[in-house]
């Protein structure tokens, strides 16, 4: 009784203080772990009447541990599937209670991050590569010219602006966003250093070894002169077939350009991937009508990349290496 009374006094004081500070209902709920149906005015009323405002749990700690195990076993289940499996285990609870308990455990439903699939062999190679480069400084990484291709579409999927609408207006033409089954798109090649970005190349056809060497000749070499001048550089590229072809390797040897060895499926190690992300986010509200307008928008947005952004991304390489080692070769947050 004494413990409950002391807890109620604490609740009363906290509610009164937060209410006077003008805190919202959500703040009170989060701070006090109270039932969602209780609004601030109700909380104050119950406080004055000396009643406890703590939500009464209808499930035991054992039931909750079972629920947490279900969620962790397959975090991609929806609430309905989780509820069905939980009640099948002998727990008596509603779907709403299931949802609430999952949230109380700290789980939130979010769009999952997408990472390349890595097998054990690839993870081991990434780990060996990272350990080999762990002593490289940011100054050494500044000698590397990073490159990559990226695809841009006129339709950006679920990205883009949201719409303000009233109930029942979901199908109103003014609230709809047009989409096409096969949106126009362009493939772009680009390169960057710690100082700036190079020229973009819009690829007109599928990239084979011959096409890629043409890109290197007319875009990579001018970019190298622009970004490095007479200084030494190391060129980075992924392991796409056109990049690793024997004819392409011969081209680099003939031009005296060293190529950085690179592990497979390691986009998280390439800072230019982050630049593509910056460009696409800046283009989120752009509405090009055709491929030419899309190219113009990409060029204009690419030109807005600042030297500070490039420098910051290259300086992150030691942190990326450390993250790969810590993850034992698995994908990282980058």
**157: exposed, middle or buried (Cβ count in 10 Å: 0-12, 13-18, 19+):** exposed
Contact 239, 264 (CB under 8 A): yes
Which portions of the chain are predicted below pLDDT 50? 1-7, 35-38, 157-160, 180-181
pLDDT of residue 107: 87
- Edge-to-edge strands of the sheet including 201-203? 201-203, 185-192, 144-153, 234-235
Secondary structure letter of residue 290 according to DSSP: S
CB proximity list for 72: less than 8 A, separation 6 or greater: none
pLDDT of residue 15: 64
SS3 160: coil
pLDDT of residue 35: 46
The total of other beta-carbon atoms located within 10 Å of residue 254's CB is 8
C-alpha–C-alpha distance, residues 302 and 150, integer Å: 13
In SS3 terms, 182-243 reads as: CCCEEEEEEEECCCCECCCEEECCCCCHHHHHHHHHHHHHHHHHHHHCCCCCEECCCCCHHH
C-alpha–C-alpha distance, residues 58 and 35, integer Å: 12
């Amino acid at each position: 009784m004494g413990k409950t009374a002391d807890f109620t006094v604490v609740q009363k004081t906290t509610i009164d203080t937060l209410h006077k500070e003008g805190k919202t209902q959500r703040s009170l709920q989060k701070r006090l772990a109270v039932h969602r149906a209780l609004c601030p005015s109700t909380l104050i009323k119950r406080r004055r009447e000396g009643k406890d405002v703590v939500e009464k749990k209808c499930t035991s700690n054992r039931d909750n541990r079972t629920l947490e195990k279900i969620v962790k076993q397959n975090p991609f289940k929806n609430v309905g599937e989780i509820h069905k499996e939980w009640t099948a285990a002998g727990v008596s609870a509603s779907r709403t209670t299931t949802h609430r308990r999952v949230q109380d455990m700290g789980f939130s439903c979010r769009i999952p991050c997408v990472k390349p699939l890595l097998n054990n062999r690839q993870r081991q190679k990434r780990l060996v590569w990272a350990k080999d480069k762990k002593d490289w400084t940011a100054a050494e990484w500044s000698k590397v010219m990073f490159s990559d291709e990226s695809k841009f579409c006129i339709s950006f999927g679920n990205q883009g602006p949201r719409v303000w609408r009233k109930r029942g207006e979901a199908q109103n033409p003014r609230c709809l966003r047009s989409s096409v089954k096969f949106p126009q798109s362009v493939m772009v090649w680009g390169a960057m250093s710690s100082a700036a970005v190079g020229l973009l190349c819009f690829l007109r056809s599928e990239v084979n070894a011959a096409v890629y060497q043409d890109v290197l000749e007319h875009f990579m070499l001018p970019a190298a002169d622009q970004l490095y001048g007479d200084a030494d550089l190391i060129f980075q590229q992924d392991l796409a077939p056109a990049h690793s072809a024997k004819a392409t390797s011969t081209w680099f040897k003939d031009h005296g350009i060293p190529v950085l060895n690179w592990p497979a499926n390691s986009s998280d190690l390439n800072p230019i991937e982050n630049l593509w992300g910056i460009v696409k986010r800046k283009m989120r509200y752009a509405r090009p009508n055709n491929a030419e307008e899309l190219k113009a928008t990409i060029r204009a947005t690419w030109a807005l990349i600042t030297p500070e952004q490039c420098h910051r991304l290259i300086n992150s390489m030691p942190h990326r290496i450390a993250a790969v080692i810590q993850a034992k070769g698995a994908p990282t947050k980058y």
